[in-house]
């Protein structure tokens, strides 16, 4: 007997689980996932290529950011050629560049600019996580 939550392959590109079908297409440069679920509108996800940011370019993201809502300061700094965020009561947490001005690794940080970085929006990947704006 097959567990109803198990992902079952139809072929190398099409898989199903319960009431959903996952169809992958494209190649290593351009990837696409189409999700079809009974009773829902089909969803399409396009793969993107993560950017690489040099240690020199990471310097513009460094600094202290303050949240008046949390009355807390977060510090961003470079360690071992990567950007890290110092969260209260924790050591630095590495965050990796995803696309321009967006970093992610368990948390998502989006930077805003007015020629220079002026703020960041901090959120996490969990559904019950709040989103906070922090000013540099």
pLDDT tens for 121-130 read 888 765 556 6
pTM of the model: 0.64
* 125 and 75 co-located in one domain: yes
Query: Could you list the residue range(s) of the whole structural domain that residue 73 is in?
Result: 55-135
The closest of 87, 90, 83, 85 to 70, measured between CA atoms, is 87
- DSSP letter, residue 13: S
Q: What is the pLDDT of residues 63-119, one digit of tens each?
A: 999 988 888 888 999 999 999 998 878 788 889 998 899 998 878 889 999 989 999
| Same domain as 90, residue 42 | no
Provide the number of structural domains found in the chain: 2
């Amino acid at each position: 007997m097959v567990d109803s939550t198990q992902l079952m392959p139809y072929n190398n590109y099409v898989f199903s689980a319960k009431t959903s079908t996952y169809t992958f297409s494209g190649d290593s440069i351009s990837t696409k996932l189409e999700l079809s679920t009974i009773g829902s509108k089909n969803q399409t996800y396009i793969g993107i290529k993560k950017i690489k940011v040099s240690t020199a370019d990471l310097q513009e993201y460094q600094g202290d950011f303050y949240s008046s809502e949390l009355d807390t300061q977060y510090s961003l700094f470079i360690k071992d050629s990567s950007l890290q965020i110092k969260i209260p009561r924790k050591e630095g947490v590495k965050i990796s560049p995803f696309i321009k001005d967006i970093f992610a690794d368990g948390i998502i940080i989006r930077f805003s600019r007015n020629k220079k970085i002026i703020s960041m929006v901090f959120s996490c990947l969990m559904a019950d996580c709040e989103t906070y704006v922090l000013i540099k």
